[in-house]
């Protein structure tokens, strides 16, 4: 797909609807909710509309698996210290929201700026975001559009400026023009086989399977209540009286050759179980979610190798997502450098180019094995105390722990 400037507004409107649809689906607006009323025994019957919110759980797992643990910055010490100081301004939450938005909507947009002397970022809602791509597939502008109390607002981002428009009063007018120090917002996306600009929501892979699961379970519950209830049938002569309307606890007198029984439809629970289990397995396979993480299998006494095998698909998917997320983060770091240099902190190209990002996947690990491995590395002189604290499962604040070690006489360097 290529978006040309003359028709960009039309394409943008389509993308906006796409984002909103994904959001309403996550809010519970599923196809099963559109089942119309039926007639049963000449009476209106409201069918079951069972909504399965597995999509939210799968997306949350995918996000937490990739970014649930904080990222680690590596490279030149001076560069890492400068960027780490910026990350302390709430970037852990920003990173989590970026990955979650990419998984849910296919795209996420981040604008970096300076507020009160501190470098920070804001995330632009995917439903309000309209990147402008020209005929040469170049990213040339960005439009943020939203409506409050029937008044539309437009923030148009260019490389050197930001223009703000509003239609308050009935006509579109320019409210102001502001300098743009960091260029266009960063576009984060996931893999899309038919588009190299916009990502594809992971929900697209789940919805059809979930619709089938919701349809199966809703109709099965209806069938159980509508058709399992038996119809009383008498064969032969009844001795006296009429058949009681309530037969529980009541006796029926029949002739010697008569018979009484309930005619019932049999509920094929084995077929239901097989279909539902197959759909669930397909859903977990498509989403690369280990069944053990959803409580679908029972395990015990697994070795580290067995755990890695169980999470092998999750690792492969996280690696693919990491590739695209890291691409956006590198663009963010270039904006950090520009703002840091404006604040008087300059870096050589060979120093800044060493900056890299390491993701720590949230795969279950044995804490004992981690400690044993860190101990062996320390005995070999192949790891520092700070790195041990970073990877230790018992350390939550590395800097505070370094200060405590320093106060106890340990030979460690504490950054101010």
Residue 145 within a domain: yes
Residue 32 within a domain: yes
Answer with the residue of higher pLDDT: 238 or 76: 76
How many structural domains compose the chain? 3
Q: Which of 183-197, 219-233, 265-279, 292-306 shows the lowest per-residue confidence on average (mean pLDDT)?
A: 292-306
pLDDT at 236: 67
pLDDT at 6: 38
Residue 11 has pLDDT above 90, yes or no: no
Asked if residue 281 and residue 194 are part of one domain, the reply reads yes
Residue 50 within a domain: yes
> Considering 263, 287, 314, which residue would you say is the last residue of a domain?
263
Asked if residue 375 and residue 360 are part of one domain, the reply reads no
Residue 54 has pLDDT above 90, yes or no: yes
Asked if residue 134 and residue 56 are part of one domain, the reply reads yes
pLDDT at 226: 74
Answer with the residue of higher pLDDT: 183 or 266: 183
For range 15-23, the mean pLDDT: 55
Residue 307 has pLDDT above 80, yes or no: no
pLDDT at 74: 87
Instruction: Taking the CA atoms of 390, 374, 357 and 410 in sequence, report the sign of the dihedral they define.
Output: positive
pLDDT at 161: 92
Q: With bands split at pLDDT 50, 70 and 90, how would you rate the model's confidence at 300?
A: low
pLDDT at 259: 75
pLDDT at 102: 94
pLDDT at 240: 59
Looking at the chain, the whole-number percentage of residues with pLDDT higher than 70 is 84
Asked if residue 97 and residue 1 are part of one domain, the reply reads yes
- In the 3-class helix/strand/coil scheme, how is the chain assigned residue by residue? CCCCHHHHHHHHHHHHHHHHHHHHHHCCCCHHHHCCCEEECCEEECCCCCCCCHHHHHHHHHHHHHHCCCCEEECCHHHHHHHHHHHCCCHHHHHHHHHHHHHHHCEEEEEEEEECCEEEEEEECHHHEEEEECCCCCEEEEEEEEEECCEEEEEEECCCEEEEEECCCCCCEEEEEEECCCCCCEEEECCCCCCCCCCCCCHHHHHHHHHHHHHHHHHHHHHHHHHCCCEEEEECCECCCCCCCCCCCCCCCECCCCEEEEECCCCCHHHHHHHHHHHHHHHHHHHCCCHHHHCCCCCCCCCHHHHHHHCHHHHHHHHHHHHHHHHHHHHHHHHHHHHHHHCCCCCCHHHHCCCEEECCCCCCCCHHHHHHHHHHHHHCCCCCHHHHHHHCCCCCCHHHHHHHHHHCCCCCCCCC
Q: With bands split at pLDDT 50, 70 and 90, how would you rate the model's confidence at 239?
A: low
Q: Which of 142-146, 230-234, 282-286 shows the lowest per-residue confidence on average (mean pLDDT)?
A: 230-234
The per-residue pLDDT of the chain, averaged, comes to 83
Asked if residue 244 and residue 352 are part of one domain, the reply reads no
Asked if residue 410 and residue 280 are part of one domain, the reply reads no
Residue 207 has pLDDT above 60, yes or no: yes
Asked if residue 241 and residue 205 are part of one domain, the reply reads no
Asked if residue 96 and residue 176 are part of one domain, the reply reads yes
Residue 254 has pLDDT above 80, yes or no: no
Asked if residue 8 and residue 82 are part of one domain, the reply reads yes
Residue 186 has pLDDT above 90, yes or no: yes
Enclosing domain of residue 384: 368-416
Looking at the chain, the whole-number percentage of residues with pLDDT higher than 90 is 39
Asked if residue 186 and residue 75 are part of one domain, the reply reads yes
Residue 225 within a domain: no
Closest to 196 (Cα-Cα) out of 136, 276, 121: 136
For range 267-282, the mean pLDDT: 86
pLDDT at 42: 80
Asked if residue 169 and residue 113 are part of one domain, the reply reads yes
For range 27-37, the mean pLDDT: 89
Asked if residue 393 and residue 290 are part of one domain, the reply reads no
End-to-end distance of the chain based on CA atoms, in angstroms? 50
CA torsion 71-75-76-81 (nearest 10°) is 0
Residue 279 has pLDDT above 90, yes or no: yes
Indicate yes or no: pTM above 0.75: yes
CA distances for 158 relative to 12, 58, 135, 163, angstroms: 17, 37, 17, 8
For range 125-152, the mean pLDDT: 88
Quick: pLDDT tens for 350-397: 999 999 999 989 888 778 888 888 899 888 988 888 888 878 888 877
Q: Which of 69-73, 121-125, 239-243, 398-402 shows the lowest per-residue confidence on average (mean pLDDT)?
A: 239-243
Answer with the residue of higher pLDDT: 256 or 13: 256
Residue 180 within a domain: yes
CA distances for 225 relative to 35, 37, 40, 44, 232, angstroms: 17, 15, 11, 14, 16
């Amino acid at each position: 797909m290529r978006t040309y400037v003359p028709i960009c507004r039309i394409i943008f409107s389509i993308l906006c609807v796409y984002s909103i649809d994904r959001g309403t689906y996550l809010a519970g607006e599923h196809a099963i909710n559109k089942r119309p009323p039926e007639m049963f025994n000449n009476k209106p019957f409201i069918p079951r509309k069972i909504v399965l919110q597995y999509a939210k759980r799968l997306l949350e797992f995918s996000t937490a698996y990739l970014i649930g643990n904080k990222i680690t910055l590596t490279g030149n010490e001076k560069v890492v210290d400068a960027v780490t100081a910026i990350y302390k301004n709430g970037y852990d939450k920003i990173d989590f929201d970026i990955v979650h938005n990419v998984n849910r909507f296919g795209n996420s947009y981040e604008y970096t700026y300076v507020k009160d002397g501190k470098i920070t970022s804001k995330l632009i809602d995917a439903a309000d975001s309209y990147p402008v791509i020209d005929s040469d597939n170049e990213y040339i502008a960005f439009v943020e559009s939203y409506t409050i109390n029937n008044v539309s607002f437009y923030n148009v981002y260019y490389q050197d400026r930001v223009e703000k428009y509003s239609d308050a009063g009935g006509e579109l007018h320019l409210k102001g023009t502001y300098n743009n120090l960091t260029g266009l917002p960063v576009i984060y996306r996931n893999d899309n086989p038919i588009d190299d600009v916009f990502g594809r929501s992971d929900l697209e892979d789940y919805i059809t399977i979930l619709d089938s699961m919701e349809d199966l379970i809703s109709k099965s519950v209806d069938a159980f209540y509508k058709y399992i209830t038996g119809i009383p049938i008498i064969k032969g002569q009844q001795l006296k009286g009429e058949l009681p309307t309530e037969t529980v606890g009541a006796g029926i007198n029949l002739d010697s050759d008569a018979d009484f029984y309930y005619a019932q439809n049999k509920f094929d629970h084995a077929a239901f179980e097989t279909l539902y289990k197959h759909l669930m397995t397909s859903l977990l396979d498509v989403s690369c979610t280990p069944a053990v993480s959803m409580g679908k299998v029972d395990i015990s006494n697994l070795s580290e190798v067995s755990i890695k095998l169980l999470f092998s698909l999750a690792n492969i998917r996280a690696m693919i997502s990491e590739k695209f997320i890291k691409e956006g983060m590198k663009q963010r770091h270039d904006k950090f450098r520009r703002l840091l240099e404006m604040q008087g902190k300059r870096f050589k190209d060979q120093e800044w180019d060493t900056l890299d990002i390491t993701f720590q996947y949230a795969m279950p690990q044995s804490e004992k094995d981690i400690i044993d491995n860190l101990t062996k590395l320390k005995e070999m002189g192949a790891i520092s105390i700070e790195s041990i604290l970073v990877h230790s499962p018992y350390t939550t604040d590395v800097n505070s722990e370094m200060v405590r070690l320093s106060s106890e006489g340990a030979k460690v360097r504490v950054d101010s």
